[in-house]
A and B are shown apart, each in its own frame.
Chain A
Amino acid sequence: MEALDQSLSPECRVPGSKLYTLARLKAVKAALKEKRPIHVLSIGSSSAGLGASASYPVKLENALEQALPDVQVEVEARGLPGEVASGAGERLRSMVAEMEPDLVVWQVGTNDALARVDIEAFGEALDESVQWVKSHGIDIVLIDPVFTESLADDAYYTQMVRTVQEVARREAVPLVHRYAAMRFLSTQRTTEAHMLGRHFRLNDLGLRCMAEHATRAITLSLLQPESAKEGMKDGIKDPGKGDAVTADHATSDTSKTDPAQTGTPGPSPVPKQP
């Protein structure tokens, strides 16, 4: 069995391949080089930016600042009402235009899945929105929908999750496999109980871990080489046309230079130019 990612909190540990697909993040890298603070716009159902310190956006900010020492990270969070398939993409554009972030972290698919929108329309609209964000020189990371056992055999829902993955692959943007990670966590034995039953326990755990998982995908994506050529030099296999590198390759190759992995404050995660 593949080893668990030891850089994560014990209860959130998941093998790398179940956790992320990596791709390059040019805008964030540029901000790091210029030693600017990184502006992150976190969008999605549990991203309403709650005041409590335990909430996801606050955790994301803390986790990113821990993983990127000496870098200031500012996370702005917004809920995104409505479905991507019918107009939420338009609101996303307004928000991005208003805040002009370096990076958008988009937890996507929940509202569309709840409305059972046409999956093809969802995929197209999501693809368009991702393209739009990229076309303005802004990085984007997608997070796919939650895993919950009552929908484990729901063909529509799993198709939805696959569609998010396909769009991430096609557009070569990093993806946090929230679904796969939670499914993995659901198989782990635990003594922790939840008064509403184990599905709700898993949901809480998923929320607790999401910031760590997203941070891991972002920091490892920052270690991606600038271009395919350099990738070959660095010894990282670049699969064909796409920029996306599957997580298990990336983790083995980058573990030495990754500050988050060793837990000691390392150098800035921008790879040195040859």
Chain B
Amino acid sequence: MREPNAIDFWRGFALVTIFINHIPGNFFERYTFSQYGISDAAELFVFLAGWSIGLATRGRDGLPEPRLTTVLRLLSRTIEVYRAQITIMALALAMIAGCALYLDNPLILEWHNAGGFFADPIQTMVGVVLLTHQLGFFNILPLYVVLIAIAPAVVLIGRVSRALLLALSLSLYGASLVFEWNFPSWPGEGDWFFNPLCWQLLLVLGFLSNEATRESERLQRLWRRLMPLGIVIVAVGVVLAVLELRPDPMLAPEPRLVFTFDKTYLSPARLVHFCGMVLAFQGVFALIAPHVGRLARFLSGLGRNSLAVFSMGSLLSLAGQFVRFQTGGGIFVDISVVGSGLIALGFTAWFVEWRSRRPRPTRKAPDAASPADAPSSSPSA
């Protein structure tokens, strides 16, 4: 188990923000940073995933691990994320159906895009395993599956040439914006909520930021000097968000998506705002960590176990939505729902680490117990 650090801390922070934002209408929602800017926690999550891939594919000595190991490691991670998505989709659909039956209320079947599954299960079941049928709020992991699946290419190209990687990534992003390329939904019409062809850029930026800063002192100094620029961007974001100023997509010139604030296509405004956030808040962890030890430990714990925490968080926020719906909401319900959810997320993180620490019963002779049972200390991608 590694010590609290900035990456795990911010990852945990993003996970808590996503959990709260996924219980729409709740009291705490208006106090998350997503309400005060153009970009939100999804950007942070993907950027840090890219950053961690850089850490995970190097050995303890900081040298790149063998290529085949990287490919296999990321392949194994892709399978893990895919498995998590299928599991939480099955559980979410069962929760929706169970809740509708228990409350004798068919309205619940129409919950954020679930109606398709219940009206047309034959095709939609295929769509679920193909990741082309996504429920509202359950659409981040499909993006993540695609991103981790292409990550071996990102890492290997990055080892050859960072400039080439950035150029390829930017070209794909730009072309997708201009030609409105996206992955299709099926059987429902439409496209993916998070367009992997655009969001891959954030993963690559996260990966490259880590790679570049680890070697270059000069770059680190440059980042710090750009902090005021970041603060200006963040301030502009606050003003735009609070005053609800955004371009009218019907009036935006072509290519439209370059000028609008679009989440699906990660429009440039969101990207610039997010980069501003990174510049503005880069030093915050080091500044506050000594004073908020418990908080830093809690959030870092969540961040270290992000996949499990994210999966549990998705299901807990769905449960929280049902509780709010049935009880009618209100501040006390919101405090209990969000409070118990955060405790459950903390327990999830602790439990995952407890499971990996525990020596597993083995049928082999004691002296053959493999060192692989020891907890992995390398950051997960």
Tell me the complex Cα distance, A114–B115, Å: 14
Tell me the complex Cα distance, A150–B109, Å: 14
Which residues of chain A from 62 to 103 have any CB-CB distance to chain B below 8 Å in the complex? 76-79, 81-83, 85-86, 90-91, 93-94, 96-98, 100
Interface string of B108-140 (1 = CB under 8 A from A): 111111011001101110000000000111010
- Using known A-B contacts A50-B119, A116-B328, determine if residue A81 contacts B107 with beta carbons closer than 8 Å: no
B158 interface residue per 8 A CB criterion: no
Range, interface on chain B: 35 or more
Which residues of chain B from 314 to 362 have any CB-CB distance to chain A below 8 Å in the complex? 321, 324-325, 328-329
In the complex the two chains form, is B103's CB within 8 Å of A83's CB?
no
Tell me the complex Cα distance, A151–B246, Å: 37
Interface string of A192-226 (1 = CB under 8 A from B): 00001101101100010000000000000000000
In the complex the two chains form, is B187's CB within 8 Å of A148's CB?
no
Tell me the complex Cα distance, A100–B250, Å: 9
Partner of A113, one of B103, B107, B185, B263: B107
Tell me the complex Cα distance, A83–B135, Å: 14
Question: Chain A contacts of B321 at CB under 8 A?
Answer: 114-115
B180 interface residue per 8 A CB criterion: yes
In the complex the two chains form, is A200's CB within 8 Å of B107's CB?
no
Interface string of A36-80 (1 = CB under 8 A from B): 000000000110111110010100000000000000000011110
Partner of B187, one of A51, A111, A136: A51
In the complex the two chains form, is B109's CB within 8 Å of A196's CB?
no
Partner of A78, one of B105, B190, B262: B190
Range, interface on chain A: 35 or more
A107 smallest CB distance to B (angstroms): 9
Question: Chain A contacts of B101 at CB under 8 A?
Answer: 196
In the complex the two chains form, is B189's CB within 8 Å of A151's CB?
no
In the complex the two chains form, is A79's CB within 8 Å of B190's CB?
yes
B106 interface residue per 8 A CB criterion: yes
Question: Chain B contacts of A50 at CB under 8 A?
Answer: 116, 119-120, 123-124, 187-188
B193 interface residue per 8 A CB criterion: yes
Tell me the complex Cα distance, A203–B119, Å: 11
B252 interface residue per 8 A CB criterion: yes
Tell me the complex Cα distance, A79–B111, Å: 11
Partner of A97, one of B111, B116, B187, B256: B256
A16 interface residue per 8 A CB criterion: no
In the complex the two chains form, is B325's CB within 8 Å of A114's CB?
yes
In the complex the two chains form, is B106's CB within 8 Å of A146's CB?
yes
Question: Chain A contacts of B120 at CB under 8 A?
Answer: 50-52, 55
B379 interface residue per 8 A CB criterion: no
* CB-CB nearest in chain B for A196: B101
* CB-CB nearest in chain A for B261: A90
Question: Chain B contacts of A207 at CB under 8 A?
Answer: 119
Tell me the complex Cα distance, A13–B28, Å: 45
Tell me the complex Cα distance, A114–B100, Å: 12
A145 interface residue per 8 A CB criterion: yes
Question: Chain A contacts of B375 at CB under 8 A?
Answer: none
In the complex the two chains form, is B136's CB within 8 Å of A82's CB?
yes
B24 interface residue per 8 A CB criterion: yes
Q: Taking each of B105, B139, B328, which has the highest tally of chain A beta carbons within 10 Å of its own beta carbon?
A: B105
B380 interface residue per 8 A CB criterion: no
Question: Chain A contacts of B180 at CB under 8 A?
Answer: 98
13 contacts between A and B (CB under 8 A): A48-B185, A50-B116, A77-B189, A79-B112, A79-B136, A81-B139, A82-B24, A94-B249, A97-B252, A115-B23, A117-B25, A145-B107, A150-B105
Report A's interface with B, CB cutoff 8 A: 45-46, 48-52, 55, 57, 76-79, 81-83, 85-86, 90-91, 93-94, 96-98, 100, 110-118, 132, 136, 145-146, 148-151, 156, 196-197, 199-200, 202-203, 207
Told that A49-B188, A82-B24 touch, could you supply 12 new A-B pairs with CB distance under 8 A? A46-B115, A50-B124, A51-B120, A52-B119, A52-B120, A52-B123, A52-B187, A81-B113, A93-B248, A94-B262, A150-B105, A197-B104
Top 9 A-B residue pairs of the complex, sorted by shortest distance between their CB atoms: A81-B136, A49-B189, A48-B188, A203-B106, A97-B249, A45-B110, A115-B25, A48-B116, A115-B24
